Amino acid sequence: MKKIFLILGVILSVTAINAQTEFHNFKITDIDGEAFDFSQLKGKKVMIVNTASKCSSTIQYEMLQVLYEKYSAQNFVVIGFPANNFHDTEPGDNADIRKFCTLNYHVNFPLMGKSSVKGEDMSEVYQWLTSKDKNGVMDSEVEWNFQKYLINEEGVLEKVLAPGTKPYDKEIINWIKG
Catalytic residues: 55
Contact criterion met (CB below 8 Å) for 163 and 140: no
Q: Which of 168, 60, 152, 74 is nearest to 107 (CA)?
A: 60
CA–CA distance, 77 with 53 (Å, rounded to integer): 20
Contact criterion met (CB below 8 Å) for 69 and 38: no
CA–CA distance, 66 with 89 (Å, rounded to integer): 23
